[in-house]
A and B are shown apart, each in its own frame.
Chain A
Amino acid sequence: MSTRWYPIYQRGNPQLRVFLPNFWMKLVRPQEEQPANVVTFAVSTEMTKHDVKNYLEKIYKLPVVEVRTRIALGETKRDQTYGYVTKKDDVKYAYVTMPKTESFTFPDLFSNRAENQEKEGKSLDESKDGFRKFLDRNKKRPGTPGWYSI
């Protein structure tokens, strides 16, 4: 896309504008404990600090004070049988500092998972019971289709 291959910087306006940015950002759980006003993002590797700041301020309307980034090396792993080495992709992490007054804790998404699974287990048991009843009813007339009688 023509707005994505960057022309050289020239002073003055109008400056370069990206109309259809294709950068991605993931909000991730911080690996180390962070201050309350710092949020961790995994971002496209080609993004700069300015890009991260502009992205959050313009698209998400999030107040940003400072951005620090690092690139984490992807893990390498040697195959046990054939010995070749595979590597995962490098990831850029952005630590975004919001104003002092703000704070954000990463939500716990799977707190109700166990309950839900219990419910599903119950419905599975019910359908199992239903099938057993159906089999019992048709013991003396094998091969009868399910719609034959109530």
Chain B
Amino acid sequence: MREIHSSFVRPVLMQFFDEPKHWNENEVKVGRAWRLDELRIKSNKELHQLWFILLKERNMLMTMEHECNDKMEIFPSPERIDKVKISMENLETVVRERNKAYHLLETGETGERPRREVTNAFGLRGYYKSCEHVLPAFMNTKWIKSRQLTHGGRAVHKFLLKYREKLYNAKRKSKNRSRNEVMMILRRNPNFDLSVLRRQFPDVDVDKLVNEDKTRGHYVPKVDV
């Protein structure tokens, strides 16, 4: 009986579901995602319309996936969600490109959200995304008192020393590892192409390693050839 009265909202809410003919399919055939080059030739209005089509499609697919998972059924062609996601990402890239170009032309700035480098209480640097505030910074005394802008003291100094040592050790070990790898390659393959090694390990001085004792293999070197 309910179905008879719900003539108005039912078609609206059925937009959240796939077409009934796809409900019992094991596979739904669809095209590919929108590419950047295809989106670049569209007007702003067309892109705006396409965004909402994609948004509705994503809602529909997510609804269907949720219901399929609930009922322990297989969701047909789950790659559709990825295709919509790729399309939306591409569309956003195109809009951002246009936004940037417009802002650069009009104001000389990119129009992206501004961010700046800040140092926290541990002396580590990070980025802070700026946002609008009701009060300007110099008037907000409560905030000025609460924040810790400086870093210092013995504990922080000690921490930074050890932290940097850790970073340095990681760097040193990776350097040694690649050096040893080159030496082992040269030991096992005496006629290895050195240009390949140079390209593969740009940090290693290959020409110096060739004359190392470790690079010589366990065989009698040919003297007169």
Contact = CB atoms under 8 A, between A and B. Distances in A.
Interface of A: 1-2, 5, 7-8, 19-22, 24-29, 36, 39, 42, 59-63, 98, 101-105, 107, 109-110, 112-113, 115-116, 120
A27 B63 contact: yes
B5 A101 contact: yes
A74 to B, nearest CB: 15
Interface of B: 2-3, 5-6, 8-10, 12-17, 23-26, 48, 51-52, 55-56, 58-59, 62-64, 66-68, 70-71, 73, 88, 91-92, 95-96, 99, 111-113, 129, 131-134
Nearest to A114: B24
B5 A112 contact: no
Nearest to A21: B55
**Mostly helix, strand, loop or mixed at chain B's interface?**
helix
Contacts of B73: 110, 113
Contact of B48 (A7, A19, A28, A116): A19
A20 B90 CA distance: 13
A120 B6 CA distance: 35
Given A8-B134, A24-B62, A28-B63, A98 B111 contact: no
B96 A28 contact: no
A1 B111 CA distance: 10
A20 B51 contact: yes
Contact of A62 (B6, B9, B99): B9
B5 A59 contact: no
A5 B66 contact: no
A18 to B, nearest CB: 11
Nearest to B111: A2
Most buried by A among B9, B64, B67: B9
A62 B73 CA distance: 29
Contacts of A120: 26
Nearest to B7: A102
Contact of B92 (A20, A27, A36, A102): A20
Given A2-B113, A8-B132, A104-B10, A116 B51 contact: no
A2 B102 CA distance: 13
Nearest to A7: B132
A20 B98 CA distance: 14
Given A25-B59, A27-B13, A103 B23 contact: no
* 9 closest A-B pairs by CB: A27-B16, A116-B24, A102-B9, A103-B6, A112-B24, A26-B63, A8-B132, A109-B23, A26-B62
Most buried by B among A1, A103, A105, A113: A103
A116 B95 CA distance: 44
B5 A103 contact: yes
Nearest to A20: B51
